[in-house]
Chain A
Amino acid sequence: MRDPIGKKAAELKPSGIRKFFDIVAEMDDVISLGVGEPDFDTPWAIRDEGIYSLEQGRTFYTSNSGLKELRKEITNYVHRSLGVDYDPLKETLITVGGSEAIDLAFRAMINPGDEVLVPEPSYVSYKPCAILADAVPVVIDLKEEDQFRLTAEEVEAAITPKTKILVLPFPNNPTGAVMRKEDLEAVAKVCIEHDIYVVSDEIYSELTYTGEKHRSIVQVPGMQERTILINGFSKAFAMTGWRLGYCCGPAAIIKQMTKVHQFAIMCAPTNSQYAAVVALRDCAGEVDKMREAYNQRRRFLLHEFKEMGLPCFEPFGAFYMFPSIKEFGMSSDEFATELLKDQRVAVVPGSAFGESGEGYVRISYAYSLESLKLAMGRISEFISKLRAGKQ
């Protein structure tokens, strides 16, 4: 028989998280801080609308681009939050989570051999999706001394004549880093100078704790026409399982993305789309409440790490902490494995998010304060043991 497997798929590196998942699944009594999704239930008003739409028998496909009503709510929301305007009919596409939009953006824009700049540590999908679209991913290593922000110099240094797209993953998973206005402006200047497009993954945009609103690169003059803005309902509205995201961008690119989406997916889940209309229309208050809860937990963890003497820069976005474990002379994979075996606390090794994540672990605070307290007690004990052992 011929080998049924194609080269491209076979050569993709599996996610480093999988191994952990398998170990954790076998153990009892594990406190997992390894989850990348909110612990809150989807607000009831949204769930209720989902139920109602099923009762109404709205079980058919929507148009490929998604419900017109929802696209209008989305462009209204983007206008409210960023002050940037998109045409709901031509410049917006509803996708199956933000993840699909990442995939579509690459497939719509890439010619074989084009280079895609991927800042790391970051979400695990960018590189594989770029490769599947026949692009060559070029990694930019973000540094803790820059608070894991992307600098214009780093972008400039990575650019070659083949560079076509810069991925901008902020607020960042796994570091929690956010970009300031001046950072975005500097990066934008480089992109405009070198004629580079941006895929801006802003799925955590509602979860920032600077006291100011999230800022997007599309707010910088000259950038809206060269940016695909990706967002979704998963993180802000605790709707991960509903699989609903969206993107906004120049009509020409959205048109091609919609074509690929049409052939691969048809349309995003109808039920989720109806529910999402209510999310954008009525649930800003719920989002505020969840944000405040995350912020309190974030402060709690910062305080705990300080007490433990575990160095951790202060993250201002998403729901992750990214403490350094370099003092223990272990790889982040070893640290996470030992912590799991010794204390039954699961964290994700930073190296799962790129080589520059080595020496760090990702700790999610999408958990109740009670769980976090328990977990911090165990981590503290683990660290004390390691330190005692080293002396």
Chain B
Amino acid sequence: MTPADLRAAFIADLTAIAPDLDPAAIGDNDHLQDDLGLDSMDFLNLVSALHKRFGLPIPEADYPRLATPEKAVAYLAQMLAT
């Protein structure tokens, strides 16, 4: 998958969990909790959706690497490549 594909997939899962977010308005450096208002439950649901989509384990220790769309795309690309 290209970074653009990964980003689209990430945004799709994010907006499924927070349907009131406008996909077009989400910035690459928006912090999921501080800027987009996700709480711990939303974040866990997002991680669950990414786990289901990509089959990656995404341990809790890696959560900080999903803090923004940009970080998450880099993380997913790295994990899928190894």
Report whether chain A binds chain B. no
